[in-house]
Chain A
Amino acid sequence: MTETRVFFNFDVTADSHTLAAYRQRGGYQALEKVLKGMQPIDVENEVKASGLRGRGGAGFPTGMKWSFVNKQSPVIYLCCNADEGEPGTFKDRWIFENTSHQLIEGMIIASYALKVRHSFIYIRGEFDLPYRRLMEALKEAKEAGLVGEKILGTEFSCDIIVHQGGGAYVCGEESSLLTSIEGFKGYPKNKPPFPAVKGLYQKPTVINNVETLATIPWILANGGATYAAIGTEKCSGTKLFGVSGHVNRPGLFEKPMGYSYKKLIYEDCGGILGGKELKAVIPGGSSTPVLLPSEIETLTMDAEAVQAAGSMLGSGGVIVIAEGTCMVRLLQVLSRFYAHESCGQCTPCREGSAWMNDIITRISRGKGVKGDLERLECITKGIMGNTVCALGDAASMPVNGFLKKFRHEFEYFIEHGRSMYDGRLEI
């Protein structure tokens, strides 16, 4: 199959992010086709047929998510999740910087399908260039009648409101994101009710990731079935994968689902830094359990395959770790992150993530004691499944994964009071 590209189908130049350039590559034709010739339900069915699954981490089928919303409800909201904060993930930022119009077009099409009058983009507060590019694009789109009142001269009107975050990782969690837009500290909420039933200001709300929504124009332009034919049977289409860590050419790649991890690391990224051996791969963002080289030998990049290997495709952030890296100190970097980002609402996550960080930090300073590893495992058991949002699980999974795959390194550190690898993270 020749390579189909939903994102990387143009050269990045000084003005490739503009409306004129986007139009030149076929932009806003899907919107025209939808608004002038399709019913909202046809759009939803096309998305269902595409098999598109959410790109924010959980991989929930997008068309199905849309179908949960009661379209008779007088007010329905759409929120684009652009809080991109999962360590190892840097794809949404690329979309904003290079093709914001693609997201805007996707959001207007989605809003038409969902009967949304006001939609939101919750964009990470630190993002500056992405924000400016988005605001420029929105201004262009409004002036061209592509956003706002009577879009393209039809009866359909929809605004896009851009809301900047305040620097909290947990606000990427969908219910926390809504609480944050409502003007409160971003505490996640218990589910059910799910946002599709009671979301923003208690109204039915769809939350989708940037990449998910930016894929919609391609699906409507080319047909759901065409999209479904790319990738694997259960995981269709292409996806943006960000590779970071110890590779020669890190960066962002668009690949069909089902692509090989090994090919990505050794061919696309030019192999491991300094010609070193591969030690481990975190396959889908920092919270996904770490895999050994033997486990990625034939592994493909689709949700089912990675799950069968005991991890998750997540947000597509592939973190590559070379031989010689100290896994104890690396886990400390992650445990510090989760302890810092726990919102503090529920006890197991608030206390547990802090305890785990204390213990792992102690071990990584050579002060670990016998029983520490069992204590860590006990804490993860206390957290998982017992919290309001999935951050608790996200904090626990790396701990379990590291202890399972690299237990000897932790035991060595506790016994000898020092790292097997001189505490190295950098290669």
Chain B
Amino acid sequence: MSCLEEKFDQLRSVYPAEMNSSLVLPLLHLMLKEKGHLTESDAVFIAQYLDVPPMQVKEALTWYTMLYRQPVGKHVIKICRNIGCSLMGAERLIEYLERKLGIKEGETTADGRFTLLAVECLASCGTAPAMQIDDTYHEQLNESKIDQILKELS
């Protein structure tokens, strides 16, 4: 954990000292990047590092949707199911992805390569339908574009 603590210290220097508690979410994000998903003991570790109540960090961990508490695939596909994308065919594309990957929304492929999540508006409504794979946005999607994007992923 020492390497992690170094990164923690670095982040800590960004916030004024009296805002120690503000580091909860940034540290959870940082740890998620390192570990892929987070457990209760990770929350406790952060709580001890910051000297805040463990319950505060546990609550934050279970409340924010970006903080995965289950293992996810190598690539996480977040496809928007909200209004702008629905009007442009999101439902059809979600079904297409489900068929193509052989899983339902919310699941991970058996080989651990992909997790498929249907998410709310990604702020790409003007270039709908949209999805985000890992960090990268992909917009104005259609079936063949999705084929191409998935093919290019390692």
Contacts and interface: CB of A to CB of B under 8 A. Distances in A.
Contact of B26 (A89, A164, A286): A164
Contact of B82 (A93, A282, A333): A333
B152 to A, nearest CB: 18
A317 B124 CA distance: 11
A180 B25 contact: yes
Contact of A183 (B16, B22, B66, B124): B22
A185 B64 contact: yes
Going nearest first, the 5 A-B pairs with the smallest beta carbon separation are A166-B64, A183-B24, A167-B66, A244-B125, A185-B63
Contacts of B64: 125, 165-168, 185-186
A185 B123 contact: no
A341 B135 CA distance: 22
Interface in A94-112: none
Interface in B95-154: 120-128, 132, 135-137
Contacts of B121: 85-89, 286, 337
A369 interface: no
A284 B56 CA distance: 36
Contact of A90 (B15, B26, B66, B125): B125
B65 A164 contact: no
B39 interface: no
A244 B120 contact: no
Nearest to A251: B126
B121 to A, nearest CB: 4
B4 interface: no
B37 to A, nearest CB: 14
Contacts of B60: 166, 183-185
Nearest to A322: B87
A312 to B, nearest CB: 16
B123 A330 contact: no
15 contacts: A89-B125, A90-B125, A90-B126, A127-B123, A129-B137, A184-B24, A201-B18, A250-B127, A250-B128, A286-B121, A319-B125, A321-B87, A336-B81, A426-B87, A426-B91
B137 A163 contact: no
Contacts of A167: 64-67
B28 interface: yes
Given A164-B29, A184-B56, 11 more contacts: A90-B125, A161-B15, A164-B25, A168-B63, A169-B120, A183-B56, A185-B60, A185-B62, A252-B126, A426-B91, A427-B87
A298 to B, nearest CB: 25
A166 B28 contact: yes
Interface in A365-391: none
B114 to A, nearest CB: 18
A245 B87 contact: yes
A53 interface: no
B3 interface: no
A141 interface: no
Contacts of B86: 330, 333, 425-426
A166 B18 contact: no
B82 A317 contact: no
